[in-house]
């Protein structure tokens, strides 16, 4: 798996999240139609993006702190893959949406987006891809043998990579969601949403399982 392919996976996962109405673009359309201002659409999308980005960082940063332990790279990647698979299986079994999302005030779209992304395991989907990128960027030798300075430098690089992955993914999600939201707002309206609402819950859960299996496979295959 090349570095370019992994970055494309980051972008594709963002597009996938952007298409999914569960990540919030219908709320942006609703806000614009309710306020009758295009600026409300932009503001809502920005808030959704901010919440989603924070949810991604909240998941990726802990792994960036662990990943400087290159001696345990395979174990970390296997554990991350197993965690993603477990989340996918849980979502397949439990189809109910978290009640807390319905309790968030419509004006707090940033908080809603953070909670929705976290509850659906959106950040977890990025973990195996992120660890694969770190594995290709990391030096081959043991960090424990290269000293404290090398370990600190590697961890810093991993943190920067975490922010880049989260930002790239969020941009792809926001751009895709914005395109759909604008089309619905300008031409179709809320009736389109109610009549053509599509549920991606099962596809989402299965995609988590697939990404988790990919993460475990990549940990064994090549073992960077």
Instruction: For 48-83, write each residue's pLDDT tens digit.
Output: 999 999 999 999 988 887 765 556 677 777 888 888
Question: What residue numbers bound the domain in which 174 lies?
Answer: 3-220
**Euclidean distance between CA atoms 220 and 84, whole angstroms:** 17
Judge contact between 81 and 214, C-beta under 8 A.
Answer: yes
**Euclidean distance between CA atoms 118 and 125, whole angstroms:** 11
**Quick one: 212 exposed, middle or buried, by C-beta within 10 A (0-12, 13-18, 19+)?**
buried
pLDDT band at 224 (very low <50, low <70, confident <90, very high): very low
Q: What is the pLDDT of residue 5?
A: 87
Tally of domains in the chain: 1
Give percent of the chain above pLDDT 70: 78
Give percent of the chain above pLDDT 90: 22
Tokens 């949810």 sit at which residue? 55
Look at 134 and 145; give whichever has higher pLDDT: 134
Give the tens place of pLDDT for each residue, 168-184: 999 999 999 999 999 88
Q: What is the pLDDT of residue 163?
A: 95
Mean pLDDT of 199-205: 73
Contacts of 120 (CB under 8 A, 6+ apart): 22, 23, 91, 204
| pLDDT at residue 188 greater than cutoff 80 | no
Show the DSSP H helices in the chain as ranges.
3-19, 25-35, 38-66, 73-93, 99-103, 109-119, 122-137, 148-183, 190-196, 201-220
Q: What is the pLDDT of residue 20?
A: 84
pLDDT band at 93 (very low <50, low <70, confident <90, very high): confident
Predicted TM-score (pTM) of this structure: 0.81
Three-state helix/strand/coil letters over 171-189: HHHHHHHHHHHHHHHHHHC
Give the tens place of pLDDT for each residue, 4-50: 888 999 999 999 889 888 788 888 888 888 888 888 999 999 999 99
| pLDDT at residue 153 greater than cutoff 50 | yes
**Euclidean distance between CA atoms 215 and 79, whole angstroms:** 9
**Could you report how far apart the first and last alpha carbons of the chain are, in Å?**
11
């Amino acid at each position: 798996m090349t570095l370019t392919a992994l970055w494309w996976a980051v972008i594709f996962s963002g597009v996938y999240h952007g298409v999914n109405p569960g990540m919030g673009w219908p709320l942006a359309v609703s806000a614009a139609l309710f306020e009758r201002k295009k600026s409300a659409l932009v503001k809502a999308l920005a808030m959704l993006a901010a919440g989603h980005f924070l949810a991604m960082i909240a998941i990726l940063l802990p792994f960036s702190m662990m990943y400087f332990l290159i001696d345990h790279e395979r174990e970390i990647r296997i554990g991350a893959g197993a965690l993603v698979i477990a989340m996918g299986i849980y979502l397949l079994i439990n189809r109910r949406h978290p009640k807390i999302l319905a309790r968030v005030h419509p004006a707090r779209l940033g908080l809603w987006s953070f909670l929705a992304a976290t509850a659906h395991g959106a950040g977890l989907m990025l973990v195996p891809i992120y660890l694969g990128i770190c594995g290709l960027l990391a030096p081959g030798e043991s960090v424990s043998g290269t000293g404290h300075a090398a370990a600190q430098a590697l961890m810093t690089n991993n943190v920067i990579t975490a922010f880049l992955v989260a930002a790239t993914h969020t941009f792809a999600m926001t751009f895709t969601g914005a395109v759909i939201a604008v089309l619905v707002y300008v031409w179709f309206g809320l009736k389109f949403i109610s009549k053509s609402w599509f549920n991606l819950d099962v596809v989402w859960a299965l995609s988590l399982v697939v990404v988790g299996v990919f993460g475990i496979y990549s940990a064994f295959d090549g073992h960077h």
